[in-house]
Amino acid sequence: MHPQYQEAQKEILARAGESVIHPTLDRMRAAMDLLGHPQTNYRVIHVTGTNGKTSTARMIDALLRERQLRVGRYTSPHLRSMRERIVIDGEPVSEQAFADLYADVLPYVRMVDERSDVPMSFFEVLTVMAYAAFADAPVDVAVVEVGMGGAWDATNVVEADVAVVTPVAVDHTEYLPDTVEGIAAEKAGIIKPGSVAVLAQQTLPAAQALLRRASEVGAQVAREGLEFGVVHRDLAVGGQQVAVKGLRAGYDGIFLPLFGVHQASNAAVAVAAVEAFAAPTEGEEGLDPELVRAALATATSPGRLEIVRTSPTVLVDAAHNPAGMAATAEAVREAFSFDRLVGVVAVLADKDAEGILEPLEPLLDEIVVTANSSPRALPPEQLHRVAEDVFGDDRVHLAARLDDAIEAAVTLAERDTEFGGAGVLVTGSVVTAGDATHLMKKE
């Protein structure tokens, strides 16, 4: 690892983490003032929601680059490397570029720290770095994923042309309201006057909150299931065939190399977002169908039902809340036919462990509970007790370390199965997915 990158990463990690929130944009606005407002130098597509944000942002990025635009993408959290969060032209910034970027913004960050009661956080510093990097590149458009919420999220110092809201569910209730409607109202803060709000399928309370905000600020609205959506989908080897009704045109014959109806919906949202970005007024033509097919055929979503090993098949998934896990379970059920499937689950202590486990109960034959590398990981012994309540004593196993848990799960999955019939699903947290990916790819 490059020593300057290592030092930059160490200093950023020493700041208040992503789970420590001071809900104000004052520090970000101060930093942007000092830097000369880099976030105004390019157009923006802003993405919020509870689940599917990163997958959707990646698809939007791919579609824009297929249009020969220079694209910056800012997403979170990362699976393995902090550099994954700041992407230009489809590639994470290099270790040297990351270190140089940190050195460039650090004097301004320190000035904000000196003027504030609370120093800038881990996430705020990375957001400043991303906005500066995109201005310096320069990019034509930035695809920016919200960290948490919307209105007071550090990313929300931009005036986005298009605001995307993926499905809203209950999560992060220690910082956000504890109802879907309340969370949607918070996330609606990224919808700005004169923008286009592209809304994934929502529950009625969430839809009402989002539409209320759009009406208040005079934003146009495009809703999945009404103005756009998935028309048809079929299973295919390595993914699915999808037809999408867009805002301007229909697009069929799309091969999407990702699993699950939720990923098809994410693709429809991405297409609608790019249509709205490219042609925000009525009557404009749609996108080139060949462009849409080419971009989505290359779509990747690391850590989202990613196959990291075969014989037996080991799937890694970053689902970390009940709604996300329900989507994962449905996708596994649809796309795979295992004789035996064993889960490896590690969750963070501030998550709804029971709600995460419940969608897995009908899917898994057995489960191995463990811990991931986060200091916020729920101790395996506590997760074991919750899992016993959901699965019963005889289906639950305990391993203190993730590598031992995966090894135990492989052994359990291969017991009494024919060749190719065994599967392991490693899930419960983005950290779990990142740890597992790293372990499996070292083999």
What is the token pair recorded at 371?
A: 């811990």
**How are strands ordered across the β-sheet holding 141-145?**
91-92, 86-88, 71-74, 141-145, 43-48, 162-165, 196-199, 220-223
**How are strands ordered across the β-sheet holding 229-236?**
229-236, 239-245, 250-256
Are 368 and 343 within 8 A, CB to CB? yes
In whole angstroms, how far apart are CA 262 and each of 41, 200, 230, 290? 33, 10, 10, 23
What is the token pair recorded at 192?
A: 């700005």
The secondary structure of residue 319, as a DSSP letter, is -
In whole angstroms, how far apart are CA 388 and each of 201, 209, 318, 346? 34, 38, 22, 14
What is the token pair recorded at 283?
A: 């009557």
User: Helices in 36-179 by DSSP H: which ranges?
Assistant: 53-66, 95-115, 122-136
Report d(CA 235, CA 220) in Å as an integer. Answer: 34
Residue with tokens 């462009």: 291
What is the per-residue pLDDT for 357?
98
What is the per-residue pLDDT for 21?
67
What is the per-residue pLDDT for 420?
73
Report d(CA 1, CA 99) in Å as an integer. Answer: 11
Provide the sign of the torsion angle of the four alpha carbons 35, 37, 43, 46, taken in this order.
positive
| Cα distance between the two ends of the chain | 20
What is the token pair recorded at 245?
A: 């009704």
Counting every residue written for the chain, the total comes to 443
Name residues of the chain where pLDDT drops below 50.
none
259 closest CA partner among 425, 34, 141, 15: 425
Report d(CA 355, CA 304) in Å as an integer. Answer: 19
Q: At what angle do helices 122-136 and 26-35 cross, to 10 degrees?
A: 30
**How are strands ordered across the β-sheet holding 340-345?**
306-309, 313-316, 422-427, 340-345, 366-369, 396-398
What is the per-residue pLDDT for 75?
98
Provide the sign of the torsion angle of the four alpha carbons 310, 314, 316, 317, taken in this order.
positive
DSSP 231-278: EEEEEETTEEEEEEE-SS-EEEEEEE-S-SHHHHHHHHHHHHHHHHHH
Q: Which uninterrupted H or E stretch holds 434?
A: helix 430-442
Pairing assessment for the beta strands 422-427 and 313-316 based on DSSP bridges: parallel
- Which phi and psi (to 5°) does residue 398 adopt? -125, 135
What is the per-residue pLDDT for 174?
57
Report d(CA 197, CA 188) in Å as an integer. Answer: 9
User: Helices in 116-235 by DSSP H: which ranges?
Assistant: 122-136, 180-187, 204-217
- Which phi and psi (to 5°) does residue 337 adopt? -130, 80
Provide the sign of the torsion angle of the four alpha carbons 157, 164, 328, 392, taken in this order.
positive
Report d(CA 38, CA 27) in Å as an integer. Answer: 15
Q: String of b and e for 103-122 (b: at least 16 CB within 10 Å)?
A: eebbebbeebbeeeeebbbb
Are 200 and 230 within 8 A, CB to CB? no
194 closest CA partner among 113, 255, 280, 125: 280
Pairing assessment for the beta strands 229-236 and 220-223 based on DSSP bridges: unpaired
The maximal CA–CA distance of the chain, rounded, in angstroms, is 65
Q: What angle do CA 137, 141, 142 make, to 5 degrees?
A: 85
What is the per-residue pLDDT for 17?
75
What is the per-residue pLDDT for 171?
63
